[in-house]
Chains A and B, each alone.
Chain A
Amino acid sequence: MPKQKAEAIVNKKGIMRAVTRIAHEILERNAGAETLVIIGILTRGANIASRIAEKINEIEGIEVPVGLMDINLYRDDVHSKLDQPIIQRTEILFDIQDRNVILVDDVLFTGRTIRAALDQIIDFGRPRSIQLAVLVDRGHRELPIRPDYVGKNIPTSKDDRVLVRLDKVDDEENVKIEKAGLKTRAKAKTKKGGEGE
């Protein structure tokens, strides 16, 4: 059965511009970078997080601390999936007490990943605020979660797959949608490979 080709919605330049705009918005809303720390959700969220930090450094000349987080231990479905997720190492080497945390992920979908991330961050201390930055918002929230900074809003149907590819993680850089309507893959259920929640 021929697979429907995934179309690129955002290309490499588009991603770069989105990151630049998000960095500016973050600085505007927080009146500078002094109070900020950035935490990226592994794997691609962490990649985007360090790009945002780089941009902020370019603009304001301030190095904002960047941490990475594996949220799999806080998921609400960690025992109901047949394939256990591989747990990667969380690294948050700074104090988040009273700081504005910018939480970064690649795709915002049902909101469950972000819920898990919020619970995990709170276990590290009491931040002044947590603000959410995502590269793509694809709708279909199942929890009351909303982003503060969005790269691109992409309307999708629930069975579509949104694939974010980033240099250093993958061999290309773009955002693609793989439209639903393919019967074969049971894999679509297990949310691997860049699928946000």
Chain B
Amino acid sequence: MKLKSPHLLGLENMSREEIALILDTAVSFREIIERPIKKVPTLRGITVLNLFYEPSTRTRISFELAEKRLSADTISFSKSTSSVQKGESLRDTVQNIEAMKINMVVIRHSSPGAPHYLTHCIDSQVINAGDGSHEHPTQALLDMFTIRQKYGTLDGLRVVLIGDVKHSRVVRSNIWGLKTMGASVAVCGPSTLLPYEVEKFGVDVYTDVDEAIDGADVVNIMRIQLERQQAGLFPSQREYTNLFGITSERLKLLNKNYTVMHPGPMNRGVEITSDVADGNASVILEQVTNGQAVRMAVLFLLSGKKEEEA
């Protein structure tokens, strides 16, 4: 059993067996993080380029650590200190770096489809760390891993994704991944932040957050970007918080063993209050730790020998 594609571009077309393989493999890698020497020699000799055109704390450090802990050589690229400032194109940037003999590229870029574009102009394997509003597959994988860790399965669970659905790649990857794994998915946000015809994803759609979270097992909260408020997509931050902010009051109405998640970074007091973020139902920090294991699993599974090379 292995992954069909040499790249990880998204979860939209990934089969249930492949997702399960990644999650199962991540269980074994999760243990390495607890060892005294958090390193295995598996990816020795492999060089990975972390190509980040957008700011990132979690994803970038998580990938870097995952690569180092697999004994790969890693190099990180930050747009702000690179020759992109001199006008160099994406294609030239990556082809020039590839000329230094690298094996894999982890790319985060503001243009949807940038990772796909790369697969056509370079030989290296490509991993999508977030492309515009399109997909962020490793985030959704670690979200699913975290949920499965708590509930044992994803089948039949009710997961509600709340926030700026229109601009969120985390929501999209989660929808595709969760539905493939048998979960029931709902999205909730102000109508200005819901994409047109979002129900065609096969999700329930709510603009009332109390209705949305009723009966939920997992509430996954997206950060609200303050720039959207500048663009007039919602009247004020305070109004967003009143109508959609997740507080312990709101969650009291959930009378089960629910879970609160957030991909980070959080705007405390805006989409989520501190007591919820730091409370017992929150697995936000576990998500981060699990992200390590999931990314190690992805790097390992992609590093296997490809059919053509056999």
Residue A34 CB within 8 A of the other chain:
no
Residue A78 CB within 8 A of the other chain:
yes
Residue A129 CB within 8 A of the other chain:
no
Query: A124: which of B36, B303, B305, B310 is its contact (CB, 8 Å)?
Result: B36
Chain B residues contacting A83 (CB-CB under 8 Å) are: 2
Chain A residue at minimal CB-CB distance from B43: A79
- What 1/0 mask marks residues of chain B from 4 to 32 whose CB sits below 8 Å from any chain A CB? 00000000000000000000110111011
Chain B residue at minimal CB-CB distance from A120: B40
Contact B301 A84 (CB under 8 A): yes
Indicate the member of B1, B29, B35, B301 with the most A CB atoms within 10 Å. B35
Query: B37: which of A73, A74, A81, A123 is its contact (CB, 8 Å)?
Result: A123
Residue B167 CB within 8 A of the other chain:
no
Complex Cα gap A56–B304 (Å): 41
Residue B258 CB within 8 A of the other chain:
no
Contact A123 B305 (CB under 8 A): no
Query: B303: which of A79, A90, A91 is its contact (CB, 8 Å)?
Result: A79
Residue A88 CB within 8 A of the other chain:
yes
Q: A119-B41, A124-B35 known; A89 and B305 CB under 8 Å?
A: no
Contact B40 A82 (CB under 8 A): no
Query: Among residues 63 to 94 in chain A, which have CB atoms less than 8 Å away from a CB atom of chain B?
Result: 70, 73-74, 78-84, 86-91
Residue B39 CB within 8 A of the other chain:
yes
Complex Cα gap A179–B37 (Å): 42
Contact B41 A89 (CB under 8 A): no
Query: B42: which of A73, A81, A88, A124 is its contact (CB, 8 Å)?
Result: A73
Shortest CB-to-CB span from B95 to chain A, Å, is 25
Residue A193 CB within 8 A of the other chain:
no
Q: What are some 11 contacts across the A-B interface (CB < 8 A)?
A: A70-B28, A81-B304, A82-B305, A82-B310, A84-B2, A84-B304, A86-B1, A88-B28, A90-B31, A123-B35, A123-B37
Binding site for A on B (CB under 8 A): 1-2, 24-25, 27-29, 31-32, 35-37, 39-42, 300-301, 303-305, 307, 310
